[in-house]
Amino acid sequence: MKKQKRTFFGKITLLIGIITAFALLLGILAGNLDPREHELIAFFGLAYPFVLLFNIAFIVFWILKGRIIFALVTILIIVIGWHPLIATVGFIGESGAGPKSAPELVRMMTYNVHSFKPYGEANNESVKQQMLDVVRNENPDIICFQEYYTRRKGAFAITDSLKHILKTNNFYFIPSSQNDYEATGLAIFSRYPIVNKGSILFSTNHGGNASIYIDILINQQKIRVYNVHLQSIAFDKQDYVYLDKVTQKMDTEITPAKRIVRMLKTAFLKRSGQVDIMKDHMKTCKTPFLIAGDFNDTPASYAVTQLTKSLHNSFVEQGTGLGRTYNGKFPNFQIDYISATKTIKIINHRIIEAKLSDHFPVRSDLRIN
C-alpha cells in the first residue's frame, strides 16, 4: 500500500510536538544543571508546568491520530522526569483540614505575609486582622514568616498579637530594615523552647533575602528549624502591566521582554549562590531539621531541587494538584515549601487559599520520630 504523504498541517504539528517534547526534556534537566553554568536551561525549569501540560495535550492528540509511537515517546520523557513531575503535580495526598489528628503531632506553617498588607497597597488593618485570623485558625506549633512586619506599639504591634494568639513568648526575629518605630524581616515563632538561634546572610545588602534558624526542644529532642527567603524576581507594577499587555512598550532603550528576561536571569543566578550557602550550613547540622519558606522558584528549578534533595518535601509526600502558593500573576505556581529530614514523617500538606498577601500560607503536620 502506498504510504500517505503528510500534509503541511501534519508536518507543522509534528515539528511543534518534537520541539515541545525537547523543551520538556530540558525542563527535566534544569533541576540538576546550575544556572551559573547553564543559564538558558533555568528558563525551561521555570516553564516546566506549562510545557508538561502541552505534552499531555500532545499525547492525547497523537493517540487520537493513531500515532502511538509518538505518544509513547512523549510518555517516556515524562516518566524519565518522574521527580520534577511529582514535585509539580500531586496525585494522592492528605490535606489535614481542621485540628491536628493527634496531640503529639507538630504543626508547621510558613507564610510570606508581605508586611501584612496586599501587594502594592498601604497598611490595611482589616487585611492584617484577617491574616492573624488565618494563623489563629490553623493554630501552628511553629510558624516561619517572610516579609514579617511589626511596630513597637499600636494596631500593628504584630509581635505582641502573635504571642497572644499562639500563647508563646518563644520567637526569633531578625530585621532587614528597621527604625525606632517599625521593622521588617524574617521571624519564627515556636511553642517549643528555643535553645539556640542564628542567621545566615546571603550578602551584606540582602534586602530581606536571607535565612534564620532556631534549635528547639520537642520531647527533649533537639530539632532545628530553618526559615528561608530566597531571591525574588523583583517585578514591579510595570512588569505586570507588560505581562498583561505584551505589546506595550516601557521605554525606547530596552523592551519590556528583555527587561523581564534579565530580571529572571539575575534571580536564577542569585538563588544558585544562596542555595550553596544554605547547603553548606545544612551539612553542619547534626540534628534532624525542618526547612521552610519562600524559595521564589518552581518545583522543577535548580534552587528547589537542590535545596530539598535528600529531604521529605511535604507537597511531594502529601500534596494534591499543582500546589499553587503564589497569589499573583507570575510565577503563578508553587514557590513556598516545607521540607524535613527523613527521620521526620510528613502527615499532610495544606495550602490555605487566603487571598490576602501575595502568597498563600502553607502548613503541614509532622511526626517527630
- CA distances from residue 91 to 51, 57, 94, 315, 351 in whole angstroms, order as listed: 18, 18, 10, 10, 15
Q: Where are the alpha helices (DSSP H) in 68-157?
A: 68-80, 82-88, 125-138
- Greatest extent of the chain over all pairs of C-alpha atoms, in Å: 86
Q: Cα–chain-centroid distance for residue 252?
A: 35
What's the pLDDT at 252? 43
What's the pLDDT at 244? 46
How far apart CA 146 and CA 2 sit, in angstroms, is 66
> For the chain, which residues score pLDDT lower than 70?
1-6, 119-120, 206, 234-255, 330-331
The pTM is what? Answer: 0.90
The amino acid that residue 208 corresponds to is G
Average model confidence (pLDDT) across the chain: 90
The amino acid that residue 348 corresponds to is N
> Which sign does the torsion angle of CA 10, 15, 19, 22 carry?
positive
Give the residue from 18, 33, 28, 47 showing the smallest Cα distance to 85: 28
Q: Is the bond preceding 175 in cis, omega lying within 30 degrees of 0?
A: no
Domain chopping of the chain, boundaries = 8-80, 106-368
What's the pLDDT at 206? 64
Give the residue from 3, 297, 357 showing the smallest Cα distance to 148: 357
What's the pLDDT at 120? 62
How far apart CA 23 and CA 41 sit, in angstroms, is 9
Q: Looking at the domain covering 106-368, what would its CATH class be?
A: alpha beta
Structure-block grid coordinates of residue 144: 516561619
